[in-house]
Structure 1
Amino acid sequence: MAKFINGANGTFSGKVGSVIGASWRGIHYLRGLSKKTKIPPTEAQVAQRLRFALVTKFLSPLLGILAVGFRNVRRLTAAQFSMAVKRNIEQAVIGAAPDFELDFSAITLSEGGLYIPLTSALEVAEGSITLSWDPAPNQFGGASNDVAYIVVYNAERQLFITTETPATRANGSAVVDVPAPFAGQQGHAWMFFASHDGKKVSATVYLGEITFQ
């Protein structure tokens, strides 16, 4: 059912017959209903849909992180998420249909030229993961107050965790608290840096596979 906006002489939103009224950023427009087709999808189309579903499911909990990591794409979260999906379909999906998998070492959560420390390390202990990096900024880019965004993924439970509060480049390390039920399960970790004002972002660094303790 359609509804009028600003009275009977105004625009409308919703379905009327074969058209749909909608608006975007204050611009009202009409679009036709999509046409159903009986033509079965090709093998390539099916494969692409499987890749899309796999990557979308993985990235969906990370909208806030991706809004920072892909900020240089556009200021719209939907566009940033779409670009993240595109990049990871291109770079991080391996295998053959219908058994596609993610190459976790190739996951991309950010794009940019902000300086990444040349050395980083990950130490796993009971109930925690400590990540460390060279805190020194580079003369060509990077600042001591750059924010470190850390993402840890439990592959068996398909859950993400991160630091309680963001660390800075100058801190040189950060601790992620690990829930007790994670013990003995496998995971992966990534990080990237963003400038304090969010205008500059680094590429993503894969920190390795983890056995939680």
Structure 2
Amino acid sequence: MAKFINGANGTFSGKVGSVIGASWRGIHYLRGLAKKSTVPPTEAQVAQRLRFALVTKFLSPLQGILSVGFRHIRRLTAAQFSMAVKRNIEQAVIGAAPDFELDYPAVTLSDGGLFIPLTSSLEVAEGSVTLTWDPTPNQFGGASNDVAYIVVHNVERQLFITTDTPATREDGEAVVDVPAPFVGQTGHAWMFFASHDGRKVSKTVYLGEVTFQ
């Protein structure tokens, strides 16, 4: 159903028969309905759709973090998410159709030139995962108040957890509380840094695979 904008003599938005009324940046326009293709997709197209579905499902819960990690793409969450999907399809999908898998060490949640710690690690304890890194900033690209964005993924449950409060570079450590139902299951952890004002971002650091305790 279409609706008039500015009365009966104005433009309309929506579908009327085979015509769709819409607007873009204040410009109103009409377009015809897209025709469904009767040509079956090629094997390459099917494979690409499978890659896209795999990556999109994985990244969808992280759109807020991706808007920070890919901030340079423009201030549009949709564009930042699309870039993250594109980058991970290219770099983090392995295997052959239809059995594609994620290469977790290759997953990227950010892109930029902010200084990455020279060393980082994680330690698993009962009910927690502790992440540590070198807190020393680099005089060319880091500051003590850079914010650490930490993501821990539960593979079996397809869920993400992070710290209760953001840590900073100078903290050198962050603790992620692990829910009891996660015990015995497998996880992966990543982190990246963003400047306090969010203008500068580092690349993603893969911290490793864990078995939750």
Aligned pairs for 1:94-133 (under 5 A) are 94-133=94-133
Distance 2:30 2:128 in 1: 53
* 1:66 paired residue number: 66
Shift of 1:73: 0.8
Shift of 1:129: 0.6
Q: Does 1:211 align with 2:199?
A: no
* 2:33 paired residue number: 33
The residue type paired with residue 69 of structure 1 is G
TM-score by length of 2: 0.98
Distance 1:24 1:149 in 2: 34
Distance 2:24 2:131 in 1: 43
Structure 1 unaligned residues grouped into runs of 5+: none
Shift of 1:23: 2.2
Distance 2:158 2:171 in 1: 29
Shift of 1:31: 2.2
SS in 1 for 2:52: helix
The residue type paired with residue 39 of structure 1 is V
* 1:91 paired residue number: 91
TM-score by length of 1: 0.98
CA RMSD of aligned residues (A): 0.8
* 1:17 paired residue number: 17
4+ residue segments displaced more than 6 Å: none
* 1:4 paired residue number: 4
Distance 1:198 1:28 in 2: 35
Shift of 1:60: 0.3
Shift of 1:37: 1.5
Deviates more, 1:138-147 or 1:12-21: 12-21
Q: Does 1:150 align with 2:178?
A: no
Give the number of equivalent residue pairs.
213
Distance 1:23 1:116 in 2: 43
SS in 2 for 1:44: helix
Shift of 1:18: 1.7
Distance 2:29 2:135 in 1: 51
* 1:76 paired residue number: 76
The residue type paired with residue 94 of structure 1 is I
**Aligned-residue identity in percent:** 87
Shift of 1:21: 1.2
